Amino acid sequence: MSLLDKAARGERLLADEIAALYELPLSDVASVAHSLRLTRANPEVVTYLIDRNINYTNICNVGCNFCAFYRTDRQKDAYTLDYGQISHKIRELEAVGGTRILMQGGVNPKLPLEYYTGLLRHIKTHHPGIRIEAFSPEEILGFEKFFALDASQVLDLLIEAGLDGLPGAGGEILEDEVRARAAPARISTSDWFRIIDIAQRKGLYTISTMVIGFGESYAQRAAHLVKLRDQQDKALASHGNGFAGFAMWSLQTAHTRLAGKAPGASAYEYLQQLAVARIALDNQPNIQASWPAQGFKVAQTALFYGASDLGSTMLEENVVSAAGGHGRHSATERELVRIAFDAGFTPAQRNSFFQVIRFPDVPTMLQPVRREEVPVV
Ligand code: SF4
């Protein structure tokens, strides 16, 4: 039986078999990935989330080589948002029917624990309908050091204040050789999984992630996927609260110390990686296409390479776009609906857990609009 036959039957691939997928014709790999997508996720529907990214501070002491977002506290454009500024952003999200904020920052050594717990309480009090998914494993690691608490204690305090989940940022390639080149002070592979595991055991939402384009080998990409798959197996077997989905994007290096040093990833490589991930991650049915890094057109194409979801509107994306991306900080619901509908799927708004909460009225939403309002899709 060929490798692709084995994959098409839904059989689990070993790490070296996953790495071998990159050497096969992409059209064949994509065909298998799409057929698996049609069985593992709703074949008719493409989902999206209406949410907002909020980057509460850009002050960070980690200094990743691939980051154009962070500042030191002495730089003129360093900032930390106050609760009123964050509330204002959430009100804008509420006005367009949004359901969650994805709130991350730099790892800011100047902020006290009370800033975070007070912020969570403020949001839950003033915006009770909004889920708060905030503070990546890198930030939780920083809190352990700043506040002399372990991750379990930190998360208990944050959950008690209103935290609903963690973003999966900081995963990139969970192989320490790659991480050491890209960002020597970045959270280690073992700490990333340690914090995710504690969060999952406490019932928090988490998502698995991947970033390609550091110059990592296919074997390292395969190893990354196997680690995510193993964590998912462990979580589902022991308590049932695994990763809600998988998001993958390509490295952007403009304005960073990796500019000209890391290759990034073309649309071809992005689509290839997405297809490989769909095949490898047999225990994660919800796989996102990324429009901020690759643009709307590649995101739409990705719906035939294993993706079943278009991510979210974001309203303001600051981190990927600071290092390049496709010049868009947000998507409208109309744009995401059009991408899904034109590709032959039924667009559906989802919640954080990829459950459909609303089918938009597509004919009304896609009615012709004045020329200056036509989105660039
Ligand atoms: S990627 Fe995150 S942790 Fe790294 S420098 Fe940027 S803000 Fe800091």
pLDDT, one tens digit per residue, over 214-230 is 999 999 999 999 999 99
Find out whether the beta carbon of 175 lies less than 6 Å from any atom of ligand 1. Answer: no
Q: For a ligand 1 pocket test, name from 60, 103, 186, 258 the mutation site with the most ligand atoms within 8 angstroms of its C-beta.
A: 60
**Residue 320, domain member (yes or no):** yes
Structural domain span for residue 333 = 17-50+148-365
What pLDDT shows up at residue 215?
Answer: 95
Mean pLDDT in residue range 7-29: 97
**Residue 311, domain member (yes or no):** yes
Nearest atom (ligand 1) to Cα of 106: 7
| 181 Cα: distance to centroid of ligand 1 (angstroms) | 15
Lowest mean per-residue pLDDT among 115-129, 234-248, 303-317:
303-317
What pLDDT shows up at residue 253?
Answer: 83
Q: How far apart are CA 131 and CA 129, in angstroms?
A: 7
Query: Does the annotation list 312 as a binding residue?
Result: yes
Q: How far apart are CA 123 and CA 131, in angstroms?
A: 9
Whether residue 376 has pLDDT greater than 70: no
pTM of structure: 0.94
Q: How far apart are CA 273 and CA 173, in angstroms?
A: 12
What pLDDT shows up at residue 326?
Answer: 60
- 121 pLDDT band, cuts 50/70/90, is very high
**Residue 333, domain member (yes or no):** yes
| 63 Cα: distance to centroid of ligand 1 (angstroms) | 6
Whether residue 273 has pLDDT greater than 90: yes
What pLDDT shows up at residue 245?
Answer: 97
Q: For a ligand 1 pocket test, name from 107, 187, 256 the mutation site with the most ligand atoms within 8 angstroms of its C-beta.
A: 107
Query: Does the annotation list 308 as a binding residue?
Result: no
- 168 pLDDT band, cuts 50/70/90, is confident
Find out whether the beta carbon of 169 lies less than 6 Å from any atom of ligand 1. Answer: no
Task: Report which of residues 171 and 278 the model is more confident about.
Answer: 278
Task: Report which of residues 19 and 184 the model is more confident about.
Answer: 19
pLDDT, one tens digit per residue, over 137-150 is 999 999 999 999 99
| 207 Cα: distance to centroid of ligand 1 (angstroms) | 18
- 377 pLDDT band, cuts 50/70/90, is very low
| 60 Cα: distance to centroid of ligand 1 (angstroms) | 6
Task: Report which of residues 320 and 195 the model is more confident about.
Answer: 195
Give how many domains the chain has, as a whole number.
1
What pLDDT shows up at residue 256?
Answer: 86
194: domain CATH number? 3.20.20.70
What pLDDT shows up at residue 293?
Answer: 86
**Residue 76, domain member (yes or no):** no
Task: Report which of residues 317 and 353 the model is more confident about.
Answer: 353
Q: What is the mean pLDDT of the chain?
A: 93
Determine the straight-line distance between the first and last CA of the chain, rounded to whole angstroms.
41
Pick the residue whose CA is nearest to atom 1 on ligand 1.
67
Find out whether the beta carbon of 243 lies less than 6 Å from any atom of ligand 1. Answer: no
Q: For a ligand 1 pocket test, name from 53, 64, 255 the mutation site with the most ligand atoms within 8 angstroms of its C-beta.
A: 64
Dihedral sign for Cα atoms in the order 250, 19, 199, 143? negative
Pair of tokens at residue 263: 């290759």
Residue 83 CA to chain centroid, in angstroms? 25
Lowest mean per-residue pLDDT among 60-69, 224-233, 297-306:
60-69
Rounded to 5 degrees, φ, ψ at 180 are: -65, -35
**Residue 135, domain member (yes or no):** no
**Residue 95, domain member (yes or no):** no
> HEC string of 181-231?
HHCCCCCCHHHHHHHHHHHHHCCCECCEEEEECCCCCHHHHHHHHHHHHHH
What pLDDT shows up at residue 319?
Answer: 61
What pLDDT shows up at residue 320?
Answer: 60
Q: Calculate what percentage of the chain has a pLDDT beyond 70.
A: 94
Q: How far apart are CA 72 and CA 59, in angstroms?
A: 5
**Residue 107, domain member (yes or no):** no
What pLDDT shows up at residue 259?
Answer: 86
Q: Which amino acid is at 6?
A: K
What pLDDT shows up at residue 329?
Answer: 76
Find out whether the beta carbon of 107 lies less than 6 Å from any atom of ligand 1. Answer: yes
- 373 pLDDT band, cuts 50/70/90, is low
Pick the residue whose CA is nearest to atom 4 on ligand 1.
64
Mean pLDDT in residue range 155-179: 95
